[in-house]
Amino acid sequence: MLDSLIRKSQTKDVCTVANDFVNMVQKIHSSVWTPETFEMLHQIANAPDSKWAHYAERLLRECDPYLLRTFLTAAAYEGGFRGFQQARANSEKYDCNIPWIVLMDPTSACNMRCAGCWAAEYGHKQNLTFEEMDRVLTEGAELGTHACLFTGGEPLMRKADIFRLCEKHRDIAFHAFTNGTLIDQAFCDELKRVGNFIVSVSIEGFEDANDGRRGAG
């Protein structure tokens, strides 16, 4: 179904594809989300000039199809459907809340010294081992948590271990906030290869604000 939507996005307008996606989600989650929620999603899907429509169009048409399919499978199916059902059952079983996402700092280390950032003064020697991160993700997935957000420090200081985790946990959608300075072509090639890992580059604002806190460049 995801393959069909991705192919359709190459020739159809983004509103058509977005509405098809909302309809697909509604079939899966109609017993969980309210009709008002789906009405709101359809309103967003039918706003072709909105920032979200432009973002979705670029995402669908400019991203590698394999990466899109792999990441959306982990995020939408494993996390949004199968994981959601699993988490809800475990929440009732153990009488506790099951988080939908794991927030993890692989390291306190960072390759920058930004003014006011705790990482610049907290020390750069605190690290989770690969085995510790693997255990947390394994236990989380068993409970129904199929999403992981890496923060830091600078998480890409541990990019080799992160890619190992992506390879091992194919049913988890990984995301990292990064300063972007460690992203190169080799890193992008690895992102494309694993398919279930995306990054968001953090900035302070326009050039003056960003350079004023982080340094020139």
Residue 208 pLDDT more than 80?
yes
Model confidence, pTM: 0.86
Cβ(137)–Cβ(164) below 8 Å = no
136 lies in which domain range? 63-214
45 and 150 fall within a common domain: no
51 and 73 fall within a common domain: no
176 and 191 fall within a common domain: yes
53 and 73 fall within a common domain: no
- What pLDDT is stored for residue 52 in this prediction? 82
193 and 180 fall within a common domain: yes
What single-letter DSSP state applies at residue 206? S
13 and 107 fall within a common domain: no
Tokens of 56: 């979705």
Q: Total structural domains in the chain?
A: 2
pLDDT tens, 80-108? Answer: 888 988 999 999 999 999 999 999 999 99
Write the DSSP string, 22-87.
HHHHHHHHTTTS-HHHHHHHHHHHT-TTSHHHHHHHHHHHHS-HHHHHHHHIIIIIIIIIIHHHHH
Out of 27, 42, 62, pick the residue that ends a domain. 62
